[in-house]
């Protein structure tokens, strides 16, 4: 997809489709008014006949409008002007792309970027338009036996800005967002692949490919290496599976030879979570193929970071394994020794994410990191707490938490800071080992974060629980690629 920025008039665009907003109450936005003048009141007539009223989520596609050189005009309902915020803007972009996909237009002129979004500048609107277009055109059909019929596809999007002086910042924003969108796409592809394809070794191969094409360093540790490191908790999870585990290490050395402390990203890579001996119920268990979305987002972010050539050192760590029941599987009550030396009583084999992450967090110490951020589909309780809107954020450093919240706001990939107060640690008591792998069910997302926190004492650390945001269920089932945009924004700010 090719994106460019322009400030030309909508009535003069020779293009497959001009996209303009209509406010609720049949009020044409400024670019729509310009089109209307060129078309001698054609749009006003259409609205008067009652075919479109500007409500959010609605649209109307017009062909061959007289006086206008564009093949089509797409009117997009953008709701009340006073209520036009970030969510309304993204909804308008998404609506436009949905209609555009059904047309034969190969290029379009996009004027929703002209609308005023409260508190937001042109760069934000351009970024969200690029991400929204890439997201809306995304298809995952590589597992279908026949490729879907080849339709004329959209190839060029011209994003319009109000002033000529907005063109240069608009172009920078588009380029940035395009790199992020490539990372999001990789994360979605990996998430959507079925678990019989996307195994721990497959993830490792993907990481190697990524490294080869984007100038990253890559190291893949196998079962022997993991054992030598003493990662008893990680290995305990992997025991029940025929698929061997992998520890993936990717490094972006963007800070040159300064020896600058890296940011380490850690992604939960459970390529399928059956629950193990503490077996999950059958309903929707297929969605546990998405239990490696944390890993996918780390690989996606590494890709974005490489494309953006960020002058920053970033390490991606992915412990990858299946969580399966089997004759050799770890059992409830088993006690294992983690890489840190702490022993863990595994009371529930379905709380496996924290077991693989705790050893990866200990491994991260060797980098003397500036910060460590782990990303994991860690708890069902997170979905109950925040639903599918915000990612749960926990941290042992308020400064780091603030940075991540702000990055999420800026990238419109939001996270919400939850408490990690010592009071919540009380449930983590074992009669037999140093700690159990589960705490109280109440506040389950927090008690899970408390477990991780015990292994993250050596550095500033944050944990993103993406159980509610990494994928969608139902008719639109599929990986979202979150929180690649948040992480890419966070790292971009750190690099500046």
Given the rule CB under 5 A, which residues bind Zn ion? 270, 273, 291, 353
* Nearest Cα to Cα of residue 159 among 15, 34, 33: 15
Nearest residue to ligand BES, scored by beta-carbon proximity: 380
* Smallest distance from ligand BES to CB 323, Å: 7
Among Zn ion, Mn ion, ligand BES, none, partner that 383 touches (CB below 5 to 8 angstroms by kind):
ligand BES
Among 377, 480, 489, 492, binds ligand BES (CB under 6 A): 377
d(CA 52, CA 79): 12
Among 114, 189, 251, 291, binds ligand BES (CB under 6 A): 291
d(CA 132, CA 119): 19
Sign of CA dihedral 197, 203, 208, 210: positive
* Smallest distance from ligand BES to CB 396, Å: 21
* Binding-site size, Mn ion (CB under 5 A): 3
Nearest residue to Mn ion, scored by beta-carbon proximity: 350
**DSSP bridge pairs for 6:** 160
Q: Which residues contact 493 (CB under 8 A, 6 or more apart)?
A: 403, 406, 407, 410
The verdict on 353 binding ligand BES (CB under 6 A) reads: yes
Decide if 309 is catalytic: no
d(CA 383, CA 445): 9
d(CA 203, CA 215): 18
Among ligand BES, Zn ion, Mn ion, none, partner that 379 touches (CB below 5 to 8 angstroms by kind):
ligand BES
Cβ(104)–Cβ(88) under 8 Å?
no
The verdict on 350 binding Mn ion (CB under 5 A) reads: yes
* Nearest Cα to Cα of residue 298 among 383, 377, 410: 377
* Contact stretch for ligand BES (CB under 6 A) within 1-9, 233-241, 373-381, 450-458: 373-381
The verdict on 446 binding ligand BES (CB under 6 A) reads: no
Per-residue binder mask for ligand BES (CB under 6 A), 308-347, x = binder: ----------------------------------------
Among 34, 36, 251, 352, binds ligand BES (CB under 6 A): 352
CA angle (91, 71, 106) in 5-degree steps = 65
Decide if 303 is catalytic: no
**Catalytic entry in 26, 280, 331, 342:** 280
The verdict on 273 binding ligand BES (CB under 6 A) reads: yes
- Classify residue 280 as exposed, middle or buried by CB count within 10 Å of its CB (0-12, 13-18, 19+): middle
* Binding-site size, ligand BES (CB under 6 A): 16
Whether the bond into 483 is cis, omega within 30 of 0: yes
Per-residue binder mask for ligand BES (CB under 6 A), 54-73, x = binder: --------------------
d(CA 303, CA 216): 9
Cβ(432)–Cβ(347) under 8 Å?
no
The verdict on 273 binding Mn ion (CB under 5 A) reads: yes
d(CA 414, CA 132): 16
**Catalytic entry in 185, 188, 239, 354:** 354
Nearer to Mn ion, 11 or 444 (CB): 444
Number of residues assigned to the chain: 496
* Smallest distance from Mn ion to CB 480, Å: 20
* Contact stretch for ligand BES (CB under 6 A) within 176-184, 226-234, 371-379, 488-496: 371-379
- Classify residue 492 as exposed, middle or buried by CB count within 10 Å of its CB (0-12, 13-18, 19+): buried
The verdict on 438 binding ligand BES (CB under 6 A) reads: yes
Sites of contact with Mn ion (CB under 5 A): 273, 350, 352
Sites of contact with ligand BES (CB under 6 A): 273, 291, 348, 350-353, 377-381, 383, 438, 444, 467
Which residues are the active-site residues? 280, 354
């Amino acid at each position: 997809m090719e994106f460019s920025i322009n400030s030309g008039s909508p009535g003069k665009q020779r293009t497959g489709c001009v996209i303009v907003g209509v406010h609720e109450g049949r009020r044409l936005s400024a670019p729509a008014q310009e089109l209307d003048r060129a078309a001698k009141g054609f749009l006003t007539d259409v609205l008067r006949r009652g075919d479109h009223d500007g409500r959010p989520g609605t649209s109307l596609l017009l062909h061959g409008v007289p006086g206008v050189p564009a093949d089509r005009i797409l009117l997009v309902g953008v709701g009340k002007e006073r209520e036009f915020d970030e969510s309304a803007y993204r909804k308008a972009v998404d609506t436009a792309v949905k209609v555009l996909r059904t047309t034969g237009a190969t290029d379009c002129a996009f004027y929703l970027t002209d609308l005023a979004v409260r508190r937001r500048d042109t760069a934000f609107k351009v970024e969200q338009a690029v991400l929204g277009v890439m997201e809306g055109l995304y298809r995952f059909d590589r597992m279908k036996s026949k490729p879907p019929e080849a339709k004329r596809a959209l190839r060029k999007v011209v994003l319009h800005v109000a002033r000529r002086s907005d063109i240069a910042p608009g172009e920078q924003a588009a380029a940035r967002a395009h790199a992020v969108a490539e990372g999001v796409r990789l994360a979605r592809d990996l998430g959507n692949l079925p678990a019989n394809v996307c195994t721990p070794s497959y993830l490792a191969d993907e990481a190697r490919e990524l490294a080869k094409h984007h100038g990253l360093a890559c190291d893949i540790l196998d079962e022997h290496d993991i054992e030598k490191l003493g990662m008893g908790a990680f290995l305990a999870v992997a025991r029940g599976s025929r698929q061997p585990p992998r520890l993936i290490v990717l490094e972006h050395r963007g800070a040159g030879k300064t020896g600058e402390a890296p940011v380490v990203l850690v992604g939960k890579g459970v390529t399928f979570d059956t629950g193990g001996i503490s077996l999950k119920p059958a309903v929707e268990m297929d969605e546990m193929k998405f239990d490696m979305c944390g890993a996918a987002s780390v690989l996606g972010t590494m890709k974005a970071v490489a494309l953006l050539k960020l002058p920053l050192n970033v390490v991606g760590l992915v412990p990858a394994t299946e969580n399966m029941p089997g004759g050799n599987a770890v059992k409830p009550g088993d006690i294992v020794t983690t890489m840190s030396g702490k022993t863990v009583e595994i009371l529930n084999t379905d709380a496996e994410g924290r077991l693989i992450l705790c050893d990866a967090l200990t491994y991260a110490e060797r980098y003397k990191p500036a910060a460590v951020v782990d990303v994991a589909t860690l708890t069902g309780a997170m979905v109950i707490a925040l639903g599918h809107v915000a990612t749960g954020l926990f941290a042992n450093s308020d400064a780091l938490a603030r940075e991540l919240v702000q990055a999420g706001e800026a990238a419109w990939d939001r996270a919400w800071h939850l408490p990690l107060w010592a009071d919540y640690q009380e449930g983590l008591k074992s009669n037999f080992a140093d700690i159990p792998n589960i705490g109280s069910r109440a506040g389950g997302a927090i008690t899970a974060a408390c477990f991780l926190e015990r292994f993250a004492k050596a550095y500033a650390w944050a944990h993103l629980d993406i159980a509610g945001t990494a994928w969608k269920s139902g008719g639109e089932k599929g990986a979202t690629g979150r929180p690649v945009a948040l992480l890419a924004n966070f790292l971009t700010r750190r690099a500046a």
